Amino acid sequence: MKKYTLWLAIFVLGTILSLSCGDDEPTVEPIEITASDFTTTIQENPTAGQVLGSISATTNRGSLGYTLSAQSNAGALLLSSSGEISVGDPEVFDFESTQVVTANVTISNEDVSEEVMVTVNITDEAEEVITFATGQTFQVAENQVAPGVPIGTVMASSSINSAITYSITSIDPTLANDAIVIDANSGVISTGAGVEGQIDFEQFETIDVTVVATSSTGLTAETEIAITVLNLPEIRFDAARFNTSIQENVLSVGDQVISWTITSDRDIESYELTDLASGQPVEGFTIDAANNRLLLADEAALDFELVQEYELRILANGVGGGVATATLGITIGDDPSDNSVLETADIYYNLDTDLNNSNGSNFNAAYIGQVGVTQGVFGEEDRNGEMKAMGFGTTRVGIETRGWNSDVHNGVFTIAMWVKLRKAGTGNRMVYEFNCGVDEALGVFFETATGRLFLRQQNGQGQINGTDLISTLYTSVNDTESDWVFLSVSVSNDQIVSFMRAPNTTRFNSDVTISSGDKLYSGHTSTSTPLNISGQRCNNAAAAAMTLDDVAIFNRALTATEMANLYIEFTEQ
């Protein structure tokens, strides 16, 4: 009896314990996923990887996974592990071919899943288009010679208002590169610098031009422009060039220099003659339009010593329109008997007139300036026995060449003159730079009473080779004046290039030595100080006592040969 009672107690206790343990076990809830379809709208032409958005999805427990299960356009979309949607293949998103891209996305959590729809709507993007205006007229008259003649205007516009620039890529028939040009900004087509001789109606009646319009975004478009060539009444020189060779001193004013032939179906209204290189009008010639020839108007125009050749451009203007051009080549030959060095002088005083009452420049090749006030005595006997020379005594101011300074001669010049010396004191001299700021004048010649020729510098003097060049002109030591003598010296800054005395010619070239080296002439270098010939020193010392005739000044250094020719030219007058 006790045995059964014990087992019963054990059974009851186990049952109680078992029931107690069963009450503590938790309840497991099912997995739930909440998700929404994804819809968005984008503009066409997105970039690869561009994020479109994320799928909205939640779960009551655990984590979600995303799988792209289907796409309407393969590769169009990408899906990340977090549900983010982005652009895969940008080329799919072209509004002209595709307006909507769709896909299915499966969202899963363990063995539970949900499927949502992804919809991407594509909108059209405003694309740039370049449009050329129509209806423009392009035409050009033949035989154009000048740039800048308008032909027509190309007009283009951008659909998004971008700035447009223009360029020409081809011209048919082929012309010079700059015969026809276009303004890059305005689109105006016009003749260019190389148009002369390029447009001829008899050769072609239309010019086809390819024009490219480029927008500021880089988009380009091209159009073909047809330019109509207008036929003009014909004016044509029978040759592009006419040549002639003429010896100097042969033709007289009014004689024919050169002629040409021209073909024209209308009268020639006028001719224009210019220098081919400079484009400036040419003097010395006149045009006989009725006979198509060039006449001599100034004999100096064919002086070999002044000019050796001409390259001239002649332009013919037809009545009512039409032009033509040709080149005239004129070569001038030297006349061996012509020693006209004098004609190249910058200043020439022949002293046939009174310098006190005139500018004194009886011949003036290139001189800029004027002669200064003088107090020389006009009317003394000259080399030819006429009373047309200028005398200077010890109180008379000499010839002052105002304006003729180193701006003109650049430190290189030649002085030539005829002079008759008088013995009158110890301070006689001629030709010096008038410089009142120093005790002594700077000079080229310095003549003492003994007749020696010196090179003069401030406060000193240097003899040329120590040679007595003047005193031998006196018949005896008792003579009061010398014979007429021709003197010339060329100076290049601080060097004597050549010196000449005639008659009894003594000539020095560049190897001239100065007996006192520290007294070498420094050159006439002032831009404000004039050059004086003869004259009185600033300290009122004795002026030169002499008679002058035919004074010539050159803004270059004459060679020894030119000095000799100049002497011959004077003696043959």
The count of structural domains within the chain is 4
Domain assignment of residue 257, given as a range: 235-333
Mean pLDDT value across the chain: 75
Q: Which residue has the tokens 């020696």?
A: 452
Measured in whole angstroms, how far is the alpha carbon of residue 550 from the centre of its chain? 44
Residue 516 falls within a domain, yes or no? yes
pLDDT tens digits, one per residue of 457-493: 333 343 444 444 444 444 444 455 667 878 887 777 6
Same domain, 427 and 558: yes
Same domain, 507 and 398: yes
Same domain, 165 and 204: yes
**Percent of the chain surpassing pLDDT 90:** 34
pLDDT tens digits, one per residue of 95-119: 889 999 999 999 999 888 899 999 9
pLDDT band at 399 (very low <50, low <70, confident <90, very high): low
Query: What's the pLDDT at 364?
Result: 32
Query: What's the pLDDT at 25?
Result: 59
Query: What's the pLDDT at 511?
Result: 42
* Whether residue 128 has pLDDT greater than 60: yes
Say which DSSP state 92 is in. G
Same domain, 219 and 242: no
Same domain, 223 and 289: no
pLDDT band at 87 (very low <50, low <70, confident <90, very high): very high
Residue 12 falls within a domain, yes or no? no
Same domain, 564 and 434: yes
pLDDT tens digits, one per residue of 329-379: 999 988 876 667 888 887 787 776 655 554 444 333 222 233 443 455 666
pLDDT band at 441 (very low <50, low <70, confident <90, very high): very low
* Whether residue 439 has pLDDT greater than 80: no
Same domain, 542 and 458: yes
3-state secondary structure of 318: strand
* Whether residue 187 has pLDDT greater than 50: yes
Tokens matching residue 26: 């938790």
Question: Strand 38-43 to strand 112-123: parallel, antiparallel, or no bridges (unpaired)?
Answer: parallel
Same domain, 360 and 394: yes
Residue 276: Cβ-neighbour burial (10 angstroms; 0-12, 13-18, 19+): middle
Same domain, 216 and 256: no
pLDDT tens digits, one per residue of 208-249: 999 999 999 999 999 999 999 998 767 889 999 999 999 988
The pTM for the full model equals 0.39
DSSP 130-166: EEE------EEESS--STT-EEEE--EEETT---EEE
Tokens matching residue 291: 């006979």
Instruction: Write the CATH number for 274.
Output: 2.60.40.60
The mean pLDDT of 397-425, rounded to a whole number, is 66
Cα-Cα end-to-end distance for the chain: 188
Query: What's the pLDDT at 188?
Result: 96
Same domain, 436 and 491: yes
Task: Tell me the sheet residues that pair with 546.
Answer: 392, 421
Same domain, 388 and 507: yes
Last residue of one domain, picked from the residues 123, 146, 161: 123
Specify the higher pLDDT residue, 76 or 364. 76
Total residue count of the chain as it appears in this document = 573
Angle at 99 between CA 94 and CA 103, to 5 degrees: 100
Last residue of one domain, picked from the residues 89, 123, 157: 123
